[in-house]
Amino acid sequence: MDKIVLASGNQGKLNEFAHLFERYDISIVPQGSLGVEDVPETGTTFVENAIIKARHAAKVTGLPALSDDSGLVVAALGGAPGIYSSRYSESALGADDATDEGNIDKLLNALKATPEDKRDAYFICVLVFMRHADDPTPIICQGRWHGEIATQRAGEQGFGYDPVFYCSTLNKHAAQCQKSEKSTVSHRAKALELLVAEMESLIG
């Protein structure tokens, strides 16, 4: 195994995974460069959507595939925005017009009557690795980053909901964290650590 297709077009994720697998002489290739289009995420959970994306990329390319499905879960909102995190502020289902700013605005508005001690939330990242499209035992790993939703934005780093996600461990908003800080506590870092441990027997 010397090449893995990443079921994403996100450059940030590509850079992160490419660096991780560099030590194993494995190339991480974005699905777009292989002619793979995004597949509709029709699952009802992060795990289901991650599997859908990995299976699709593996089927089209014939390569092992790695996918990532991530989002924000807010207890006071019954788990929302959840699997719809990136699409939270869409004007209509499938409109594809949601933005990070719009998502944050909608989130803060939904929580405006929620007291500060009831704003618990966590980021979750689910990673799925499939050896081939019909892999009956995909490797599935997940990580969580616990925090709370602040009442105002702070910081210029990161993306998504980072400006309003406050981490008590670091005593700052996610958007105020340097990459080195996030790599010690973030949901994706935790999931990646588990994934590498699981894959050692395959790529060691």
- If one counts the domains in the chain, the total is 1
Q: Which residues of the chain have pLDDT under 50?
A: none
Token pair, residue 204, equals 């060691």
User: Count of CB atoms within 10 A of residue 197's CB?
Assistant: 11
Distance (Å, rounded) from C-alpha 176 to C-alpha 158? Answer: 8
What's the pTM value of the predicted model, to 2 decimals?
A: 0.88
Specify the pLDDT at position 73. 98
Specify the pLDDT at position 199. 80
Identify residue 74 by its one-letter amino acid code: V
Q: What is the DSSP string of the chain?
A: --EEEES---HHHHHHHHHHHGGGT-EEEEGGGGTPPP-----SSHHHHHHHHHHHHHHHHSS-EEEEEEEEEEGGGTT-EETTGGGTT-SSTT-----HHHHHHHHHHHTTTS-GGG-EEEEEEEEEEESSTT-SS-EEEEEEEEEEE-SS---SSS-TTGGGEEETTTTEEGGG--HHHHHHH-HHHHHHHHHHHHHHHHH-
CA angle 143, 145, 186 (to 5 degrees): 80
Is residue 69 among the annotated active site residues? yes
- Which CATH number is 40's domain given? 3.90.950.10
Specify the pLDDT at position 8. 85
Specify the pLDDT at position 10. 76
- One of 38, 69, 96, 100 is an active-site residue; which one? 69
Specify the pLDDT at position 204. 56
Specify the pLDDT at position 87. 92
Domain encompassing residue 32? 3-203
Specify the pLDDT at position 25. 82
User: Count of CB atoms within 10 A of residue 122's CB?
Assistant: 17
